[in-house]
Structure 1
Amino acid sequence: MSPAGGAAAARSSALLSVRGVKTYYGNIIALKGVDLDVHEGEIVTLIGANGAGKSTLMMTIFGNPRAREGTITYAGRDITRLPTHEIARLNMAQSPEGRRIFPRMTVFENLQMGAAVNGFAHFDEDLERVCKMFPRLKERLQQRGGTLSGGEQQMLAIARALMSRPRLLLLDEPSLGLAPLIVRQIFSVIRELNEKDGMTIFLVEQNAYHALKLAHRAYVMVTGTITMSGTGRELLENPQVQAAYLEGGRH
């Protein structure tokens, strides 16, 4: 296991590379110089307590809020100053915290919104794929998003992101508030996307046990700073991580 800024962070071939990123809300600093890498084909997990800055980092990568200092590089391109809609066109998609589906739109219309990013290039094929992945959505294509259960809304948020065929998928708290059975289903889909489709995934997650079991590599964030990094297994077995994040987390 390596401290922040260790060997893993030093590699330069990352698909996503975050260097020295500082983000503010007004005069309050939320991210205090974050360094982090996600390499092609990896599942990388970021864990930490509520308010640690995990979701702020996820949103900063996508351009809102914007990093005040540091650089964010994706596929060799500096995206630090790009607006969110331009970042979305670069084969990166996000399933945000709180799902943020369009509640008045049907499931089908929500999925259309995801596909609009790439001009509906493979819409029918991708619709069939996400419906196979999430059979509940297939049954509810004409139902308004806001009438779905929490678990179904989370499935829809992930499916909507997948409709753009992303090279990198950002998942922010996909298990939050869900029943254990649905959590296992969501994590099974994440594993399948990575193993079968080769999709690169950056996962922010409070359920540290499931997230670390799934991850190739992982980072720990404490009050806007990366304090620890290593393989998922290394962090699972680390006594500090166990004491802080794994007690009672094995669902």
Structure 2
Amino acid sequence: MSKTPLLDIKNVDTFYGNIQALNEVNVSIDEGEIVAIIGANGAGKSTLMMTVFGTPRAASGRIVFAGTEITNLPTHEIARMRIAQSPEGRRIFPRMTVLENLQMGASLDKLKYFDEDVEKVFALFPRLKERISQRGGTLSGGEQQMLSIGRALMARPKLLLLDEPSLGLAPLIVKQIFDAIKELNRTEKLTVLLVEQNAFAALKLAHRGYVLVNGRVMMSGSGRDLLADPEVRAAYLEGGRH
């Protein structure tokens, strides 16, 4: 008997006005998995992630999380179910300090576990501890990305959604961030849905992956199999960022 996925996206269509961004998308994620969504710019990767959170809303199909349908729930109720997101472009609070940004992430849990959780974030990203009193807007791009992920972790998520965490960052910083994601998954069994243009890094990290083309899932498989697939290599890996 197959187990129920933690997140099950079934036949989802999403529109921006009259433009269809997602077309009968099916994606499932088991508890403890890292799943990567790869594809070109405009393929619908970020739209898929935002549709899970209800902005935009799925026009048809179903999204089920931990056995509960969340397709039409308000965004704040979805967040309360312990789904956290580190959005594309980081979107930290630039005028707030590192510590205040982390407090904002923990607000859903009423700061009950704040001291314990902030130490976990600092262990994962020691640079943030060094910058604890610095305003978010003065951090480097890599530090801001670490803060965005750290803020999401403060909500103690069952599912972490990461949208383009490597975007615009130097290879060394990308490696640090992907190593941190791998460590979280290994030690905390954290389930991660990762949207990435850096297909090589994403598939190397992920247990499974989906290839999105023009809003449709065109291929899926283990990270290793997709890395070795000639079509995937030609479209997303040859001459790409390794």
TM superposition shift of 1:215: 0.8
What does 1:38-187 align with in structure 2 at a 5 Å threshold?
Answer: 38-187=29-178
1:33 aligns to what? Answer: 24
SS in 2 for 1:228: strand
TM superposition shift of 1:44: 0.4
Q: Normalising by structure 1, report the TM-score.
A: 0.94
Distance in 2 between the 1:91 and 1:82 partners?
14
1:8 aligns to what? Answer: none
Identity among equivalent pairs (%): 68
Letter aligned with residue 146 of structure 1: G
2:217 aligns to what? Answer: 226
2:205 aligns to what? Answer: 214
Where in structure 1 are there 5+ consecutive unaligned residues?
Answer: 1-10
Distance in 2 between the 1:12 and 1:22 partners?
25
Letter aligned with residue 236 of structure 2: Y
Distance in 2 between the 1:228 and 1:141 partners?
43
4+ long deviations beyond 6 Å: none
TM superposition shift of 1:132: 1.1
SS in 2 for 1:103: coil
TM superposition shift of 1:79: 0.2
1:189 aligns to what? Answer: 180
Distance in 1 between the 2:109 and 2:128 partners?
21
Report how many residues are paired: 241
Distance in 2 between the 1:32 and 1:127 partners?
40
| Cα shift readout 1:79-116 (whole Å, capped 9, x = no counterpart) | 00011111111011000101011111111111001000
TM superposition shift of 1:248: 2.4
Where in structure 2 are there 5+ consecutive unaligned residues?
Answer: none
TM superposition shift of 1:249: 2.7
